[in-house]
Structure 1
Amino acid sequence: MIEKVMVSIIMLTAVFARPQNSTPQNSREATILRYENENIGKSGYNFAYETSDGTSRLETAEVVNPGTENETLLIRGTVTWIAPDGQQYTITYTADKDGYQPKGSHIPQ
């Protein structure tokens, strides 16, 4: 169950983070400036990256209530990118037993 939730959440955040269109300011391929990845096994993971086109992402996951009937995965993250209009957007999100909860100044509350 946790693996299915984890894969779904990772796929959702990847969709939100992908570039939508190529513009003169981001038409070149981005290069990776920083990459960190720590897979801490069944108890969670941490990763972060930053690219030359202004995209960055940080995500951590931990198992809450491990080994119990209420075991669940808690994921926290932030993704930032430059849109084709040149504006920088940031989404901070949590994904847990209550679902995916994104927040950002551009997202209606």
Structure 2
Amino acid sequence: MRNFALCLVAAAWLTMVQSAPQRAEEPIAIISQESNIEPDGSYNYNYETANGIKAEETGTLKKATSPDSSDVIIAKGSFSYTSPEGNLITLNYAADDENGFQPQGDHLPTPPPIPPAIQKALDYLLSLPPAKRR
């Protein structure tokens, strides 16, 4: 699960970098950059570029609670950039072994509201004992 969460973070970062507007002939300066990796596996990094891209992430090691499990990294971070339309895009995220990758941002699509009749039926089903829900 750790690798899956890290792959999702990497994919989100790659999408952000690829969609940032820039000219191929002009290198973009890195204004600031810091990173730190601890012996226990925890880490943090952050950077900012001259074209307004910013990112930061902190990862902490969560020790396995049983011999059958492996240690996992819990990551939290964010990145932001300006879209081609001039809008500031910010994505905050958390990634862990229990909930996976959890992005949050005003630009992300949201589902439509559940119709009242459907919500009433769902509430009724949840009120039944577990054996009768099938």
TM range (shorter): 0.7 to 0.9
Provide structure 2 residue ranges, at least 5 long, that are not aligned to the other structure.
Answer: 111-134
Aligned to 1:89: 89
**CA shift for structure 1 position 75:** 0.2
- Deviation string 1:74-93 (CA, Å, 9 cap, x unpaired) is 10001001111111100000
Aligned alpha-carbon RMSD (Å) = 2.1
Equivalent position SS for 1:14 = helix
State the alpha-carbon separation in 2 of the partners of residues 67 and 74 from structure 1. 12
**CA shift for structure 1 position 9:** 3.9
Aligned to 1:19: 18
Q: Does the alignment pair 1:100 with 2:98?
A: no
Do the aligned partners of residues 90 and 11 (structure 1) sit closer, same or farther apart at CA in structure 2, a change above 3 Å counting?
A: same
TM score, norm. by length of structure 1: 0.80
Matched residue type, 1:75: A
**CA shift for structure 1 position 61:** 0.2
- Deviation string 1:28-87 (CA, Å, 9 cap, x unpaired) is 4310000000011333100000000000000000012x1533532210001001111111
Equivalent position SS for 2:18 = coil
More helix by share: 2
Equivalent position SS for 2:108 = coil
TM score, norm. by length of structure 2: 0.67
1:1-109 aligned within 5 A: 2=2, 4-5=3-4, 7-20=6-19, 22=21, 26-27=22-23, 28-64=26-62, 66-69=63-66, 71-97=71-97, 98-109=99-110
Percent identity, aligned pairs only, is 24
Do the aligned partners of residues 84 and 74 (structure 1) sit closer, same or farther apart at CA in structure 2, a change above 3 Å counting?
A: same
Matched residue type, 2:51: D
CA contact (8 A) 1:59 1:75 kept: yes
